[in-house]
Structure 1
Amino acid sequence: MIGAQRNNVRLGILLMVGSTIVFALQDGISRHLAGAYNTWMVVMIRYWFFAAFVIFLAARSRGGLRATTRTEQPFLQIFRGLLLAGEVCVAIYGFTVLGLIQSQAVFICYPLLVAALSGPVLGESVGWRRWVAIGIGLVGVMIILQPGVGVFNLAAIIPLISALMFALYGLLTRYVARRDTAATSFFWTGVAGAVMMSAIGIWFWEPMTRPDWAWMSLLCVMGALGHWLLIKCYEVAEAGAVQPFAYFHLIWASILGMTVFGEVLRNNILIGAALIVAAGLFTLWRERVKG
């Protein structure tokens, strides 16, 4: 089955911005729940809903489950799902250790990682100007991490690992979209991740209070919606054209971090994030010039 892929940049940007709002809210809820319960359990429950949701959609689609699950690249689809589940665990752990603002300030470098890897993974052209922008963005990451100031906190690289995993997931999503529909990718993302998290998270079950079950339910809805928006985004637009707008995620996450969790936006984070965003916006400009 061949997915109908086009390059509608305007629609892709709207989908990306929408996903950043959903993901930021999801991050805030995840930080709250992971601060009170085991991260494995929180992610497992979220994936149970995710899997149920994608199976429901597949069953109601034209051709049913058989048509939706059909893919000529099953191992790649399963790997995508496992990679995303692992990334979610790493990211949420980072929230509990570093907070939303610092975690997201480093994590937003993932569009630059996407740009850097889009050549070897997708065969897209990456010129020297974009490589300069990528380098500037990585300087911003170093300013945030401050590896030369005092004793370097190894926990600071957690969001960088998460960013690399998410960048690879995004590129693989774009790659499989050449032959599979968004519905197929969505199905395998939810089911593969649910199987992996159930195998791990069931051993870390803890009782949850009624109010937190309400937050957990909202988190489940946010998770499914956010990744559906992202999959649709990569289906309709080139990765390099829409990735810079992923930086809106930092704005929403910073607002949540300061207003809800009492976090502080330090100068090094502000300067480093500004460099990363500027580099990303430059890559968008270059994409338009090439277009």
Structure 2
Amino acid sequence: MLATGLTFVAMNGIVRHLGTGLPAAENAFLRFAFGLPLFLPTLIPALRRGFPRDLWAGFALRGALHCLGVIGWFYAMAHISLAEVTAIGYVNPVLVTIGAALLMGERLSWRRMVAIGVALVGMLIVLRPGLRALGSGHLAQLCAAAMFAASYLIAKRLVERTSPAVAVAMMTATVTLALAPIAAAVWVPPEPWHYRWLLLAAGMGSLGHYFMARAFAVAPMTVTQPVTFLQLIWASLLGTIVFGDQVDLFVILGGGLMIGAVSYITWREAARRSPITPPIDVAKGA
């Protein structure tokens, strides 16, 4: 999950650099289309073996949800700061943690429930509804976070029945197919430099999803998700140094509140040596 955060922040910086020159759906499509060849060595043998019908349904549902999420995310990246995108994205792990407890039976102690409440307060500090007008970029990122949370919950189930590499390859393929007609409807001819940056973004994003799938395969989501909060620090530094974003103290305060809440609960359970991480199942493959 640490490697996931680093690669995703790098991808965020690339997408921010691209700006609004291309529609969000087109940017998203090109990012996944460029990433798809990286997974063909995994995807082709898996398709030849085939999947049960219910597994196909899981792949398709995840692809549709992730498609909506990436469109919203690309739009938000072009309209609000890197730090805001990252901070609002913390709704995602909160929703994932709640969903994992409600739908998958993962243990949610009272300390974790308090941490979730504190994290939501932090989110309100970041957004400050009623104190400022929320723009379309903020709303797009909120919707994207919800879609990604649902996608990640499905991913957790998928890696219980197939390898992380296959799960990511199928996600890349289904999202590419879902985005193709949407991108075609708003297509703007890209410049050559667009392709170079999007190819790099595709590599970073695909690598990040693989790291995340590996983490999901060996540990409960309530363990893996807190690590993603470190992205706020890296995103704030990148936005300030590279793009000249002004440091928003409310974003830092709200994000820090969320980081502190989740870090505390993780430290408490580690200090008690709670058996919350299952052993690695080598049968799932590398």
Give the TM-score normalised by the residue count of structure 1.
Answer: 0.87
User: Quick one: which of 216, 232, 246 aligns to 2:228?
Assistant: 246
Q: Is the 8 A contact 1:110 1:164 kept in 2?
A: yes
The separation in 1 between residues aligned to 2:5 and 2:13, in whole angstroms, is: 12
The amino acid that maps onto 1:233 is A
The amino acid that maps onto 1:83 is L
Q: Deviations over 1:136-163 (max 9, x none)?
A: 0000000111113154546433322222
Question: Offset at 1:211?
Answer: 2.3
The separation in 1 between residues aligned to 2:154 and 2:269, in whole angstroms, is: 20
User: Quick one: which of 24, 32, 36 aligns to 2:17?
Assistant: 32
The amino acid that maps onto 2:51 is R
Q: Deviations over 1:39-65 (max 9, x none)?
A: 111111112123332223333xxx553
The separation in 2 between residues aligned to 1:138 and 1:115, in whole angstroms, is: 12
The separation in 1 between residues aligned to 2:98 and 2:21, in whole angstroms, is: 37
1:92 is matched with 74
The separation in 2 between residues aligned to 1:74 and 1:252, in whole angstroms, is: 36
Question: Offset at 1:247?
Answer: 1.1
Three-state SS of the structure 2 residue aligned to 1:35 is coil
Q: Is the 8 A contact 1:108 1:250 kept in 2?
A: no
The separation in 2 between residues aligned to 1:78 and 1:256, in whole angstroms, is: 34
1:42 and 2:27 are equivalent in the alignment: yes
1:158 is matched with 140
Q: Is the 8 A contact 2:42 2:166 kept in 1?
A: no
1:78 is matched with 60
Q: Percent identity?
A: 28
Q: Deviations over 1:215-253 (max 9, x none)?
A: 121112112111111111111221111111111221221
Q: Is the 8 A contact 1:104 1:159 kept in 2?
A: no
1:55 and 2:55 are equivalent in the alignment: no
Stretches of structure 2 lacking an aligned partner (at least 5 in a row): 276-286
Give the TM-score normalised by the residue count of structure 2.
Answer: 0.88
Change in CA separation of 1:216 and 1:135 when aligned onto 2, cut-off 3 Å: same
Stretches of structure 1 lacking an aligned partner (at least 5 in a row): 1-15
Question: Offset at 1:261?
Answer: 1.4
Q: Flag as ranges the 4+ runs of structure 1 deviating above 3 A.
A: 150-155
The farther-off stretch of 281-290 and 135-144 is: 281-290
Pairwise CA RMSD: 1.9
After superposition, where does 1:204-283 map in structure 2 within 5 Å?
Answer: 204-283=186-265
The separation in 1 between residues aligned to 2:168 and 2:133, in whole angstroms, is: 42
Three-state SS of the structure 2 residue aligned to 1:91 is helix
